[in-house]
Amino acid sequence: MSELIWTPTADDEQVAEALTEEAAGLLGGPVQGVWAAPGRVNLIGEHTDYNGGWCLPFALSHRTYVAVRRRDDGRLRIASRQASGQAWEGSVAEVGPATPGGWASYVAGVASVLAERVGAQALGADVLVDGHVPLGAGLSSSAALSCSVALALHDLVPELSGLDRADLASTCVRAENEVAGAATGGMDQSVSLRAVDGHALLIDCRDFSLTPVAWTLPDHDVLVIDTRAHHSLADGQYASRRAACERACSVLGVASLREVDGVDLEEVLGRLADDPEVARRVRHVLTENARVLDLVAALAEREAAEVGRLMGASHDSLRDDYEVSCPELDLAVESAVAGGAVGARMTGGGFGGSAIALVPRGQEEGVAGSVATAFADRGWEAPHFLTATPSAPACRVR
């Protein structure tokens, strides 16, 4: 069996201390504070956010940290401990779709969107990033970055004090869409900024209103399986799924698929019969919305088996109807269940990244071992594992 790699949570105080010290050297003076924002897993409700539907993510204890000092000259200096030597320096006013490019766009993009409210001059900053959300694992490390920066700028720029966390989340969505060029529907940013510790967050993506849902299965853990697979098609496929949903809306004469939620499914699908692929996409979205609400009910009843069943049904629907899974995610799910998980599914956008498994406490090693063995048997790169606990939202840590 390949060696299992567990990704631990960083200690806030230690990270803040080290980051403050390094920032002072790198940026040539003391920073004003350190902020952190978490990555996420989504328990259920995938590819529903941009359809005005329901989803149920929770914040990870793994977070991205930023040490920040405000500047009064409208300039940005951005560096990361994970990208040593690669820094970006420029003005807020020049930030746009191709500038700065790469990961720095998630920082600069937030400053640039916020600058629409208070002017570019007010949003200058020196920023040193330290990411502890596994990168490229489909755990929203990018939202963790944009959200930590948004909260830092909000706290440091008095003219932004009127913005609440929902405003900051939509700022981050715009920064990711418009500056970083990353398609995202709002789930990740909402949970990173607005999570409730110990709870999952039921998000109604019609208006991004939230209901905290207590985690009622203390004798079960959520095991995250980072498959280490990244299929480069992901971005184009995400866009094509969104486009299919928009086509369905125009055929159905609605602004969002949420408007046909609750209408007889067969009737809706019948109206889409001319395009079986679009009909399958819609079947996923509408059945997934129902599974989210069913899973919330199952959690309230502490029915672990039903939670697991719904996770499995969600995975099947994403694999067969929405077609966003991949062999690595399918194998992770199958081998986790074979190894003793109550249920498992892919989480996030798909085409690689992570799966999650609901595992009776104490059986994590066995489940992880089953997955690791299955991957090794195929000659695939060893997956990484972490246990996910519903954690706190973005905050200032010093």
**30 and 180 in contact (C-beta within 8 Å)?**
no
Closer by beta carbon to ligand GLA, 237 or else 391: 237
Residue 349 interacts with ligand GLA (CB under 6 A)?
A: yes
Closer by beta carbon to ligand GLA, 184 or else 335: 184
* Cα–Cα nearest to 336, from 386, 299, 289, 371: 371
Question: What six digits make up the tokens of 61?
Answer: 């204890």
Residue 318 interacts with ligand GLA (CB under 6 A)?
A: no
* Cα–Cα nearest to 136, from 351, 290, 301: 351
* Cα–Cα nearest to 263, from 286, 247, 279: 286
Instruction: For 221, list phi and psi in degrees, rounded to 5.
Output: -120, 155
Closer by beta carbon to ligand GLA, 131 or else 185: 185
**60 and 38 in contact (C-beta within 8 Å)?**
yes
Residue 131 interacts with ligand GLA (CB under 6 A)?
A: no
Stretch that binds ligand GLA, among 113-121, 128-136, 178-186, 258-266 (CB under 6 A): 178-186
**CA dist., res. 394 & res. 278, Å (int):** 37
- Give ∠ CA 232-291-203 in degrees, rounded to 5: 75
394 backbone φψ class: left, alpha, beta (φ>0; ψ -120 to 50)? beta
Stretch that binds ligand GLA, among 46-54, 84-92, 210-218, 305-313 (CB under 6 A): 46-54
Closer by beta carbon to ligand GLA, 256 or else 373: 256
Residue 46 interacts with ligand GLA (CB under 6 A)?
A: yes
The shares of helix, strand and coil residues in the chain, as percent rounded to the nearest 5, are: 45, 25, 30
Among 134, 339, 348, 369, binds ligand GLA (CB under 6 A): 348
Tell me which residue has tokens 């007889």. Answer: 264
Q: How far is the CB of 244 from ligand GLA (least distance, A)?
A: 14
Tell me which residue has tokens 């595992």. Answer: 359
Question: What six digits make up the tokens of 121?
Answer: 């001059």
Instruction: For 277, list phi and psi in degrees, rounded to 5.
Output: -65, -45
Q: Which of residues 50-79 bind ligand GLA (CB under 6 A)?
A: 50
**CA dist., res. 191 & res. 394, Å (int):** 9
Among 10, 44, 49, 88, binds ligand GLA (CB under 6 A): 49
Closer by beta carbon to ligand GLA, 80 or else 354: 354
Number of residues that bind ligand GLA (CB under 6 A): 11
Question: What six digits make up the tokens of 41?
Answer: 């897993």
Residue 208 interacts with ligand GLA (CB under 6 A)?
A: no
If DSSP codes are grouped into helix, strand and coil, which group holds residue 263?
Answer: coil
188 classed as catalytic: yes
Residue 228 interacts with ligand GLA (CB under 6 A)?
A: no
**What x-and-dash track marks residues 181-200 binding ligand GLA by CB under 6 A?**
---xxxxx------------
Q: How far is the CB of 195 from ligand GLA (least distance, A)?
A: 15
Closer by beta carbon to ligand GLA, 124 or else 349: 349
Closer by beta carbon to ligand GLA, 109 or else 349: 349
Stretch that binds ligand GLA, among 43-51, 101-109, 153-161, 251-259 (CB under 6 A): 43-51
Q: How far is the CB of 350 from ligand GLA (least distance, A)?
A: 7
Q: Catalytic one among 49, 126, 130, 188?
A: 188
Q: DSSP letter string over 44-105?
A: S-TT-GGGT-EE-EEEEEEEEEEEEEE-SSSEEEEEETTSTT--EEEEGGG-BTTBS-TTHH
Stretch that binds ligand GLA, among 42-50, 92-100, 224-232, 367-375 (CB under 6 A): 42-50
Residue 47 interacts with ligand GLA (CB under 6 A)?
A: yes
Active site residues: 188
Write out the residues near ligand GLA by the rule CB under 6 A. 46-47, 49-50, 184-188, 348-349
